[in-house]
Amino acid sequence: MKKLFGFLIAAIMVLTLGAGAASAGVGSEIPDNGKHYQLNIIGVAKGKTADMSNPDRRTVFVNLGKNDAITTKINVMANTANPTQFEVIDGNGTDGEATIAVPYTTYGTLSYNVYAIALGKPGGSVHVDAEVTFDDNTTAGLLMTSFDLARGKDIQARLASLADELERGAYIPDSLKGLVRVGEAKQRWAALKQFSLKHGHFLVTNGPYRLETWGGDSVVLQVFRDLSYPLGVGSFDRHALPSRAFVSKVEERRDSLRISAEIEKPVRVQRTYTTVREPLTSASEVGAYRVEPVSRYVAVSLDGTVRTAGTAPMADDRTFALDLQGLTPGQYTILIAIYPNGNQVNPEVKTIPYRVER
């Protein structure tokens, strides 16, 4: 698959050569201002077998037809390896095709003017056609990458018209039917239109950045927070800076153990954080979220057999009650760990000797 001209479909030039040679490049009749690349297309009577993949070359060889026209395709593709350079990828067109690579950009588009002049014996001729070809993958790339939601004025007008149409029809995607009401659908499309009128583009985002202004060589992003969006600053801290819990006190009661705990949690200060350890209470929070600890325990007899295991729920007083009623008389070791907010990495496992009397 040929790459894209800075998100434009790769063009293919089809040259039909008769007697003589042709040169496409800069000449006395061709503008030579601005950045340009001169490529010499040379017609030969016999095919070439030498390796012509040197990117620094400026020549492409094609078959020379004496009696009948011969067609050679010169494929033009985006130079993904060296995006600022013109290069000859395959200079041997005597097998029917040659390939050159041209500069491209991943942001926006680049376009090229192609000029050709014919040089050679009188009576020869050259016919040049610029054709557009693409396969299914290239089409998908075009539809996505040339869809400029900020700078494409034509796209802006078409999207604004489409938003009006979708609002009038209260359009609801099939996957959301039954979940979204007609009024909500209209409100959604109206909000999209209002966003474009206010900001001058359709590049909608929930934050923390929004495209504010843009120019030829600069882009300004505005920092903001959408308070209607449930995930805000620090929402994912619990994954990067997980909390830990520790058993701080054990009270033995009839057929049970009552466990108190402490929590070790990070406290953010702008871009840094410190770690604090405090009693686990009903007010314990990590960032904007309440701590939701879960405790698990096992009871092991002296012979190493696990006699019971379970999960100890947290009571209203923020302690954990271990129900041990099913144990028969004897000596046991109770192992318990507390997992705050789903963090099961490197927990502290507390061992507690426990005896059941007859």
Residue 277 belongs to a domain with what CATH number?
2.60.40
Does residue 3 form part of some domain?
no
Within this chain, do residues 18 and 138 fall inside the same structural domain, yes or no? yes
Residue 172 in domain: yes
Claim to verify: residue 104 and residue 16 sit in the same structural domain: yes
Domain boundary among 108, 126, 142: 142
**Do 303 and 333 fall into the same domain?**
yes
pLDDT at 143: 37
Domain hosting residue 191, numbered range: 148-223
Up-side HSE of residue 65: CA atoms within 13 Å toward CB? 14
Number of domains in the chain: 3
Tell me, yes or no, whether 23 lies in a domain: yes
- 152 in the same domain as 138: no
For 194, the enclosing helix (H) or strand (E) is helix 182-199
Six token digits for residue 241: 């800076």
Last residue of a domain, one of 191, 223, 255: 223
Q: Could you tell me if 154 and 64 lie in one domain? A: no
pLDDT means per 10 residues in the chain (358 residues)? Answer: 28 29 39 68 82 82 74 81 85 88 67 65 58 42 51 80 91 90 93 91 82 86 78 74 89 89 84 86 67 89 93 85 90 93 87 89
Distances (CA, A) of 73 to 9, 155, 304: 16, 33, 79
Whether 16 and 118 share a structural domain: yes
DSSP string, 83-129: TT--EEEE-B-TTSEEEEEE---SSS--------EEESSTT--EEEE
What pLDDT was estimated at residue 172? 92
Whether 20 and 138 share a structural domain:
yes
Phi, psi of 325 (to 5 degrees): -65, -25
Q: Is residue 326 part of a domain?
A: yes
Do 96 and 17 meet the contact criterion of CB atoms below 8 Å apart?
A: no
In a domain, 2, yes or no: no
Q: What global pTM score does this model have?
A: 0.40
Q: Is residue 6 part of a domain?
A: no
Q: What pLDDT is attached to residue 137?
A: 41
- Of 293, 286, 285, the closest CA to residue 315 belongs to 293
Cα gap 15→126, rounded to integer Å: 7
Which residue type is seen at 241? L
Q: Is 65 found in the same domain as 37?
A: yes
Tell me, what's the pLDDT at 193?
92
Are residues 83 and 77 in contact, defined by beta-carbon separation less than 8 angstroms? no
Tell whether 4 is covered by a domain.
no
CB 267 within 8 A of CB 286: no
The residue out of 142, 173, 207 marking a domain boundary is 142
Same domain, yes or no: 167 and 273:
no
Please, which residues bridge with residue 301 across strands? 332
Q: What is the pLDDT of residue 345?
A: 85
**Do both 131 and 186 map to the same domain?**
no
